[in-house]
Structure formats: C-alpha cells, structure tokens
Amino acid sequence: MVREGLRVLLEQGGFKVVGEAADGREAVEQAARLDPDVVILDLSMPALNGIDAAREILRLHPNTQAIILTMHRDVQYVQQAFQAGVRGYVLKTRAASELTSAILDVGNGKIYLSPDIPKKVIQPYLAGKAPDHH
C-alpha cells in the first residue's frame, strides 16, 4: 500500500516509475535489470537494508543516484547512507512534500537532506572526505 501511494505521488509529479521491490535484494536485482536514473530505498527494507542495497546498486551502476526514504533521523544512519554513496535522505513524515524536490535535486547532481536533519552531520561527505562509492 505504501509503495502504491509512492507510485501515485511520483507519477503525478511527472516521474516514470520503472520498478518496485518488496525488499533490498529485489531492489538490487531490479536495478541491475532496469538501470534506473534514481532509486528510492527504505532504510529498513527486509533481506538487505536500504544502505546496503544502495551500496550494491551504486557499485553496479555508478550513474544511478540513490535516495533513502526513512523514519530514522539518527545521525549515524544519515552518515552511513552518504558514505555509501546515497545523494538524498528524506524523512517519511515529509515524503509527500519533499520527495519530488529530492528526486529533482539528486537527478541534477545535487544532494538533498530533509530540513529536519542538520547539514553539519554530512560535512565530511560534502568536503569530499567520505569514501567514494565507485
């Protein structure tokens, strides 16, 4: 039901949804087959969490951009996501208002961080000191 709601939200925003996955492993498999421009991954997906799925997708497809959609605002999760190569981090409580902006920003080579999360938590990433995902 949540995925269907996201699909409707994204399609109404003018985006083409090329795939949906029930868990992290399926997300990696679909990304390998579909080569999407942007993937949106839930941090708490079963089988393979969103950060690990993002890391694998970005390793296989360096031109794909990844966004984490989550309830977790803990600094450690945000930092782990950006260290894995994720370019956007959107809190689920703000998904309806922020997801379109996040996709546009990330698709245009920018980063996106929900305003509820202080940018200072990703300063090492922004300064280029965090590990690259390539």
What is the pLDDT, as a whole number, of residue 134? Answer: 39
pLDDT at 51 exceeding the cut of 80: yes
DSSP state of 38: E
Beta 38-42 vs 88-91: how paired, if at all? unpaired
Beta-bridge partners for 91: 70
pLDDT at 124 exceeding the cut of 90: no
- pLDDT tier, 48 (very low <50, low <70, confident <90, very high otherwise): very high
> Which residue, chain included where needed, has tokens 């109404």?
12
Looking at every residue in the chain, the average pLDDT score rounds to 89
What is the pLDDT, as a whole number, of residue 132? Answer: 46
- pLDDT tier, 129 (very low <50, low <70, confident <90, very high otherwise): low
Q: Which domains does the chain have, with CATH numbers?
A: 2-126 (3.40.50.2300)
What is the pLDDT, as a whole number, of residue 16? Answer: 93
**Distance separating alpha carbons of residues 113 and 90, to the nearest angstrom:** 6
pLDDT digits (tens, 9 = 90+) for 56-110: 999 999 999 999 999 998 999 999 999 999 999 999 988 888 999 999 999 999 9
**Distance separating alpha carbons of residues 79 and 43, to the nearest angstrom:** 13
Sign of the Cα pseudo-torsion (25, 42, 59, 13, in order): positive
